Amino acid sequence: MLAQMRELGARWLLWLRLCLAIAFGGLALWVGAQRHDANLQLLAIPFAAAAVSFSFILFALRVEARARVLHPLTVVLALLLSTWGFLWRVPHAEHSAWLTLIAAVMFVVEVSFAAISVLSVRFVVASCVIAIGCEGLLVWQADGGVPLWLAATVLIAAAGAFTSTVVSRFERLASSLVEGEVARHSAHERSSALELARAQAEQVNAELDDQHRRLVLAQRDAETMTSRLVHEMKQPLASVLGLIDLVADDLREQPAAQAALPDLAAARAQGQRLLSMVDDLLAIARLEHGTLATARVATTLVPLLDSVVARQPLRSARIEVSVRGERELSAPLDRELIERLLENMLARTLLLARAGDAVELSAARDDHELVLAVKRTGQPVPLDARAVMFEKFSGGPATDDRSGAGLGLYFCRLIAEAHGGRIALEEDPRFAAALVVRLPLAQ
């Protein structure tokens, strides 16, 4: 904005100087011819020189890059040409002192022009210094003395100070206007960007809400189908187990068929395991929806641990399983859910155990908590598996293709949370891995 105003003012003043130089030069020629005064005619020479110089500068200003140099040069050139014009006249004037004062007034006008065209306090001060020097030269030529030069100097300095103040205030005003306009433009751009970002965010949120709704519906449909399938599977499984029991009873009465009894027992165990998995799926769905209420009864823990160990088949006869705890320790628990929790914890532990490892089931009271733990020696659980081993379908720290669907430890977590407790993999210096369930006890 300042540059545009400076450029516009400088061009108009340059045209004004050119017109004045032509006018005063023609006037000097005409008056000199009328009065037959050669000095007045010679006065037209500096005006002609000024007109030629200003015309050249106007032509050169077609290249905008030269404006920074040519505008200050115009002011200096105008001061010097004015001084030259007065130097032609002062030695021949009857009242040379008055002529020097008129020159001082012209210098004041040029200083004002400098303030308008250049809009720089430093250059206004510089033009004042040049003007005072030119005025001193004219006073010395006219033998005006020091008082006359001081008077002209005060006049020029006062004009310079006034114009400098005006220019400084104008610069501050223009700067504030520019800053305000830039701030408004920036605020408008930020507002537009925020509106665009808000619209895009709303669109993305709408798409995410729609996708979430679809996922919820799909998950609900999948859970409904799973529940129906599980219910449909229970009856055939129960029938298969009943048939296996009937066949086993018939074979026990036939001595020749005794060799098939172990196979039937293994088949029944696997069928019972499958039925337990179906029951777990049903319980998981009900626990996730909060529709399974815990039926708490006083439960003695150590006998419960013994029964869980007795029903769990071992992958290797060299795996030692032990139970530790106070025989009289009891707590109000949902016996069926806690029994399935312990079975899943033990099954996961035995799955990762190897020949020679030791597995320990324990129950203890720790302040106001009941602590149930299944611990083993051997290899520790990898660090990358610890963060997700209790998540749904994580599979836990799998070691082979028999690691399951990843619901066992997740089921344990749901049971612990249904009792207001928690499950975690804790550190024990005597064991490589320790699955620990902490349940709050009524105070």
* Tens digits of residue pLDDT in 41-56: 555 555 565 555 555 5
Q: Could you tell me the pTM of the whole model?
A: 0.47
Average pLDDT in the chain: 77
Residue 374: predicted pLDDT = 95
Per-residue pLDDT averaged across 59-70, rounded? 54
438 forms beta bridges with 371, 422
Residue 398: predicted pLDDT = 46
Q: Could you tell me if 385 and 396 are in contact, meaning their C-beta atoms sit under 8 angstroms apart?
A: yes
pLDDT category at 412 given cuts 50, 70, 90 is very high
> Which of 276-285, 362-371, 400-409 is predicted with the least confidence, judged by mean pLDDT?
400-409
Whole-angstrom Cα distance, residue 426 to residue 373? 10
Residue 257: predicted pLDDT = 75
90 has pLDDT over 50: yes
Residue 141: predicted pLDDT = 73
Residue 31: predicted pLDDT = 66
* Residue of higher predicted confidence among 275 and 381: 381
pLDDT category at 242 given cuts 50, 70, 90 is confident
Q: What number of other Cβ atoms are within 10 A of residue 419's Cβ?
A: 21
| Percent of all residues in the chain with a pLDDT value above 90, rounded to a whole number | 19
* Tens digits of residue pLDDT in 247-276: 888 887 787 777 888 888 888 777 877 777
Query: Cβ-count burial of 216 within 10 angstroms (0-12 exposed, 13-18 middle, 19+ buried)?
Result: exposed
> Which of 17-26, 191-200, 350-359 is predicted with the least confidence, judged by mean pLDDT?
17-26
Whole-angstrom Cα distance, residue 161 to residue 129? 12
Indicate the SS3 state at residue 12.
Answer: helix
Query: What b/e string do you get for 149-169 counting C-beta neighbours within 10 Å, with b at 16 or more?
Result: bebbbebbbebbeebbeebee
Q: Could you tell me if 130 and 113 are in contact, meaning their C-beta atoms sit under 8 angstroms apart?
A: no
237 has pLDDT over 50: yes
Per-residue pLDDT averaged across 397-420, rounded? 72
402 has pLDDT over 50: no
Residue 53: predicted pLDDT = 57
Q: Which domains are assigned to the chain? A: 2-186 (no CATH), 297-440 (3.30.565.10)
Per-residue pLDDT averaged across 273-280, rounded? 76
Residue 414: predicted pLDDT = 92
396 has pLDDT over 60: no
Residue 189: predicted pLDDT = 87
Vertex 365, ends 362 and 366: CA angle to 5°?
110
pLDDT category at 401 given cuts 50, 70, 90 is very low
Tokens, residue 336: 């069926």
> Which of 103-117, 211-225, 286-300, 311-325 is predicted with the least confidence, judged by mean pLDDT?
103-117
> Which of 28-32, 103-107, 332-336, 386-390 is predicted with the least confidence, judged by mean pLDDT?
28-32
317: left (phi over 0), alpha (psi -120 to 50) or beta: alpha
pLDDT category at 399 given cuts 50, 70, 90 is very low
- Candidates 405, 406, 403; CA nearest to 389 is 406
Output the CA–CA distances (angstroms, integers) from residue 206 to 108, 210, 344, in the order listed.
71, 6, 42
* Tens digits of residue pLDDT in 141-197: 777 677 877 887 888 788 777 877 777 777 778 778 878 888 888 888 888 888 888
Residue 133: predicted pLDDT = 82
397 has pLDDT over 60: no
334 has pLDDT over 80: yes
Residue 358: predicted pLDDT = 93
> Which of 149-153, 393-397, 414-418 is predicted with the least confidence, judged by mean pLDDT?
393-397
